[in-house]
């Protein structure tokens, strides 16, 4: 990794490399058409380094997905600021790929057409787009299912297709909104392993939203622990896990880290529940 040249904006913990995503003073108020408004996010400050994998961890309603959508440019920033690679975020763009929990594949397009869509928008010639899509589809293990529609695939396969559709554009930022939350335990574990492999092959800044402590520690360099109502970052923990050991999940360091963060998540004296 390159040396850190840019100062941490928030002091939220040691991001490695230069700052890729900088969120500062971000407050987001959710105003439903009926009922009371809710402060979904309250004064969020965080930075994510180049090629860093961070997890946003917290109970449902803590605003972690909202934070992700704001970074993605899907929701308007009203108070505070978000910049990615020095540019303020204004609207969605292919530099920030996103994977949703329920896949969000275009159900009327085949796997191939889904994966090719972003390439076509980029203006790539059809033949080149096809070749790149085929390569990406093979990388996520969907070779042979190019002509299937999403409705014909299992949950795990749909998520592979969705990941391929996003990664084929080689975004510098990857946003993931509980991407494995709808999958069974076995598939989830397999997808986690493959995601790490894909990330190592083509490193990028990853923001991964989850409510699963084990998953957060398994995947991320740093875990941002959030609390609910209003959504705040209450702790930032570097996992410091050496993933070169294939059995690292069984290591004492891993188990203790999960334990430590589990307590951070669940000790909510001010919590309403």
Partner 1 sequence: MTRLRGGIGLLVLALLWELAPRLGLVRMDTLPPLSAIFLAWLDLARSGDLWTHGSASLLRAAAGVAIAIVAGTVIGIGMAAWVPVRIVFRPLMEAFYPVPKSALIPVTALWLGLGDASKVTLIALGCILPVAIGAYNGARGCERVLIWSGRSLGAGKLRTLVDVVVPSALPELLNGVRTALALSLVLLVSSELIVAKNGLGYLIGFLGGSGIYDAMFAVVLTIAIFGLIVDRLYLRYVRSVLSWQ
The footprint of partner 1 (CB under 8 A) covers 69, 72-74, 91-94, 96-98, 100, 102, 104-109, 117-118, 121-122, 149-151, 165-166, 169
- Would you tell me how many other CB atoms lie within 10 Å of the CB of residue 195? 24
Q: Which two tokens stand for residue 119?
A: 């390439």
SS3 46: strand
Segments in the chain forming alpha helices (H): 64-72, 111-121, 126-139, 155-167, 185-201, 213-219, 252-266
Toward partner 1, which CB reaches closer, 111 or 237? 111
Toward partner 1, which CB reaches closer, 149 or 199? 149
Q: Is 111 left (phi over 0), alpha (psi -120 to 50) or beta?
A: alpha
Q: Cβ 111 to partner 1, closest distance in Å?
A: 11
Q: What DSSP designation does 8 have?
A: P
Contact 114, 148 (CB under 8 A): no
Q: Nearest CA to 106 among 96, 95, 120?
A: 120
Toward partner 1, which CB reaches closer, 174 or 261? 174
Q: Cβ 32 to partner 1, closest distance in Å?
A: 15
Toward partner 1, which CB reaches closer, 96 or 160? 96
Q: What DSSP designation does 231 have?
A: B
Q: Cβ 116 to partner 1, closest distance in Å?
A: 10
Toward partner 1, which CB reaches closer, 140 or 236? 140
Contact 163, 141 (CB under 8 A): no
Beta pairing, strands 53-57 & 205-210: parallel
- The gap between the terminal CA atoms of the chain, to the nearest Å, is 42
Q: Cβ 113 to partner 1, closest distance in Å?
A: 10
Q: Cβ 122 to partner 1, closest distance in Å?
A: 6
* C-alpha distances in Å from residue 106, one per residue of 92, 110, 162: 18, 8, 9
Toward partner 1, which CB reaches closer, 166 or 210? 166
Toward partner 1, which CB reaches closer, 18 or 177? 177
Q: Cβ 108 to partner 1, closest distance in Å?
A: 5
Q: Cβ 62 to partner 1, closest distance in Å?
A: 20
């Amino acid at each position: 990794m390159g040396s850190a040249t840019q100062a941490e904006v928030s002091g939220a913990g040691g991001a490695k490399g230069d700052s890729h995503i900088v969120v500062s003073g971000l407050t987001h108020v959710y105003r439903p058409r009926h009922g009371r408004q809710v402060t979904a996010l309250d004064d969020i400050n965080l930075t994510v380094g180049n090629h860093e994998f961070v997890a946003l961890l917290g109970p449902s309603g803590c605003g972690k997905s909202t934070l992700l959508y704001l970074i993605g440019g899907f929701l308007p920033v009203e108070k505070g600021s978000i910049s990615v690679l020095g540019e303020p975020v204004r609207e969605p763009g292919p530099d920030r790929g996103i994977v949703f929990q329920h896949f969000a594949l275009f159900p009327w397009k085949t796997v191939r057409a889904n994966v090719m869509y972003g390439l076509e928008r980029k203006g790539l010639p059809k033949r080149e787009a096809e070749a790149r899509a085929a390569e990406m589809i093979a990388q996520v293990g969907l070779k042979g299912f190019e002509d299937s529609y999403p409705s014909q695939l299992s949950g795990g396969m749909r998520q592979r297709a969705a990941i391929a559709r996003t990664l084929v554009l080689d975004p510098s930022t990857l946003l993931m909104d509980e991407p494995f939350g709808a999958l069974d335990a076995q598939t989830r574990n397999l997808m986690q392993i493959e995601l790490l492999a894909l990330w190592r092959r083509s490193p990028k800044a990853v923001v991964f939203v989850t409510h699963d402590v084990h998953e957060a520690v398994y995947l991320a360099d740093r875990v941002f622990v959030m609390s609910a109502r209003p959504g705040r970052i209450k702790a930032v923990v570097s996992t410091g896990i050496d993933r070169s050991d294939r059995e690292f999940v069984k290591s004492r360091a891993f188990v203790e880290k999960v334990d430590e963060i589990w307590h951070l998540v669940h000790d909510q004296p001010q919590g309403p529940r």
